[in-house]
Amino acid sequence: MALTLTTTSPDVSILHTPHSGPAQWWRNAVIYQVYPRSFADANGDGIGDIAGITQRLDHLRELGVDALWLSPFYKSPQADAGYDVADYRQIDPLFGTLDDFDAMAAKARELNLKVIVDLVPNHTSDDHEWFKEALSAGPGSPERDRYMFRDGKGKNGELPPNNWQSIFGGPAWTRVDQRWNASEDGIADQQWYLHMFDTRQPDLNWDNAEVREDFESILRFWLDRGVDGFRIDVAHGMVKAAGLPDWNGLTSMVEGTTAEGATQIKTDGTPNEDGGNGGGNSGPMFDQDGVHEIYRSWHKVMETYDGDRALVAEAWVEPLSRLAMYVREDEMQQAFNFSYLTTKWDAAALRTVINASIRENDNVGAPTTWVLSNHDVVRHASRMGLATGELNPNGIGKNDPQPDAALGLRRARAATLQMLALPGSAYLYQGEELGLPDHTTLDDQYRQDPAWERKGHTEAGRDGCRVPIPWEADSPAYGFSTTGQSWLPQPDTYKACAADVQKATANSTFSMYQRALKLRREHNLGLGSLGWVTEFEHTGEVLAFENNNIIVLTNIGGDAIELPQGTRVVLSSAPMHSALTVERDVCVWIVRD
């Protein structure tokens, strides 16, 4: 039995009015994440590079995005795929040179694409000169004060300074003489250093003035090279609670935080009225008020440059009122909405998180920044095909329950169409426009995510979403490299997802993304309004809102919906069996004739 929309002028409950005032580019931009090692390989060594990005930038212009964000390309031993930075002012030879970066940025400007680069201020690599100096200088030295070194507990300092656990698994502390002899005479160095991630990623001490000064210099180094903004890794983690108190909770990258004393981190994807659904990181090591002083100082640096430069917070923070603090007028410009990403495919749950997101961001005059996939989570084309109860796993391995690929892609296309019609900015993760799934059957021998080892092979980790992009179905490595080399093997299913196949296929995922971005721009949806179409509030299976005269209707789990005469579907996430029937797991954009 079909539900019929009975009017061409449905009542609308206004939640958000159109943006007025200066329309800085970041308020409504669609930004494309490039993961450099997996985007395009120009030199054939099997690892993506900056020259490869330059060669493929036309793809982004053809797609219709406004900007690109590059994950780290800095000099690094690659213990955590570049998020362990040894030199913030140099390009790692794996990816090229500063000249290569300048050429890529120049090409992006020719194509009218903004460029955002990653910045990793919570920690450095243990190969960073500062950390080497700290080890040599010893306890109590100014060099050690740049990091979080502490004396151990116990009779001989044999116990860590507190009980914190690393997000990648295991203790968050390593004793110096467990890895190095810091003195030639063999005297044990009993100090410990903090690493909230891998042991090769020591946390910086943001109470140290030299650390703060150096990062402001790093900002200026890249701003002087013309970058348009920075995405700040672990933006909520740089300041720790005074005294580093013990804490019995557990924290994970995606699933969030348990209460103290709990044994498992879990969210069912159903947010409460403040937008929280268990996906935020909390505890004395995260979301401390002191981080905001840092961002206010960075905001002042950015203001000395023209062109509306942007700071983007990667902050796994809940409730959303806390997240909105990062985008107050004198701090950052955007913050990823991970509460939206972790919400299940359910109309009531999505309505709740959208309401909270827009309400809290409107309170501080900031745009909401929507996202469904990135390099740290299972791609939404796979995630949304998982059985109930497996909402946001940290990777999917070959022995884990496998997603329903067809269902996952159908829902992912609908979810994307819904997201791109919401007011604010949106981020796309490379390859999602091709309908890429995770590589969920990757053989364990190829896994490189440090979380795989540190968690004792109990979680597959993030390698499955980082597999290199397929560009050409009949080329070596599907066109990722000319030699057929690929740092992670690509699954056979990527052949049908290759960019050349997608672009030549009617109703492909690429075609849907391209048309959505064109219509989004034509109807100014990013700066538009949002009003719930109240006719559908009686059913929990449908989500419907209006933005600048486009009605966006998603049939999430109910019977087919019959649209009235006088309406026209201008875009659908799936082929429609009739011009006015919206089937389950389909999103449509509708206009009134």
Q: Please answer whether residues 417 and 512 qualify as being in contact, where contact means their C-beta atoms are separated by less than 8 angstroms.
A: yes
Query: Which pLDDT tens digit goes with each residue over 509-568?
Result: 999 999 999 999 999 999 999 999 987 665 679 999 999 999 999 999 888 988 888 889
User: Can you read off the two tokens belonging to residue 559?
Assistant: 């019977």
Amino acid making up residue 157:
G
- CATH number corresponding to 3-10+529-592: 2.60.40
Residue 110 CB coordination number (10 Å) = 10
Q: Please answer whether residues 347 and 557 qualify as being in contact, where contact means their C-beta atoms are separated by less than 8 angstroms.
A: yes
Question: Looking at residue 3, what is its pLDDT?
Answer: 46
Q: Return the DSSP state at 22.
A: -
What mean pLDDT do residues 150-159 have? Answer: 92
Q: Which of 66, 198, 255, 314 is catalytic?
A: 314
Q: Which of 49, 92, 203, 233 is catalytic?
A: 233
Q: Return the DSSP state at 423.
A: S
Q: Return the DSSP state at 153.
A: B
Q: Please answer whether residues 566 and 49 qualify as being in contact, where contact means their C-beta atoms are separated by less than 8 angstroms.
A: no
Q: In this model, does residue 269 exceed pLDDT 90?
A: no
User: Can you read off the two tokens belonging to residue 360?
Assistant: 């809290």
- Residue 99, judged by CB atoms within 10 A of its CB (0-12, 13-18, 19+), counts as exposed
Question: Looking at residue 536, what is its pLDDT?
Answer: 64
**Which residues of the chain form CATH 2.60.40?**
3-10+529-592
- CATH number corresponding to 20-125+208-503: 3.20.20.80
- Helix runs in 506-586, H state only: 509-522
Would residue 314 show up in a list of annotated catalytic residues for this protein?
yes
Would residue 143 show up in a list of annotated catalytic residues for this protein?
no
Q: In this model, does residue 464 exceed pLDDT 90?
A: yes
Integer distance in angstroms from the first to the last C-alpha of the chain? 26
Looking at the chain, the number of H-run helices and the number of E-run strands are: 15, 24
Q: Give CA separation, 318 vs 172, 265, 280, 338, in Å.
A: 22, 15, 5, 9
Question: Looking at residue 288, what is its pLDDT?
Answer: 96
Q: In this model, does residue 256 exceed pLDDT 60?
A: no
Q: What are the strands, taking DSSP E only, across 288-340?
A: 310-313, 334-335
Which has more pLDDT, 257 or 34?
A: 34
Question: Looking at residue 7, what is its pLDDT?
Answer: 40
**Which residues of the chain form CATH 3.90.400.10?**
129-194
Q: Return the DSSP state at 284.
A: T
List all residues 6 or more positions away from 134 whose beta carbon is below 8 Å from its beta carbon: 141, 143, 144, 146, 147, 149
Query: Which pLDDT tens digit goes with each residue over 303-350?
Result: 999 889 999 999 999 999 999 999 999 999 999 999 999 999 999 999
pLDDT band (50, 70, 90) for residue 468 = very high
What mean pLDDT do residues 45-49 have? Answer: 98
**Which residues of the chain form CATH 3.20.20.80?**
20-125+208-503
Q: In this model, does residue 263 exceed pLDDT 70?
A: no
- Residue 537, judged by CB atoms within 10 A of its CB (0-12, 13-18, 19+), counts as middle
Q: Does domain 129-194 have CATH number 3.30.2130.10?
A: no
Q: Is the previous residue joined to 319 through a cis bond, with omega within 30 degrees of 0?
A: yes
Q: What are the strands, taking DSSP E only, across 400-451?
A: 425-429
Question: Looking at residue 551, what is its pLDDT?
Answer: 95
Rounded CA-CA distance 1/390 in Å is: 30
Q: Return the DSSP state at 387.
A: P
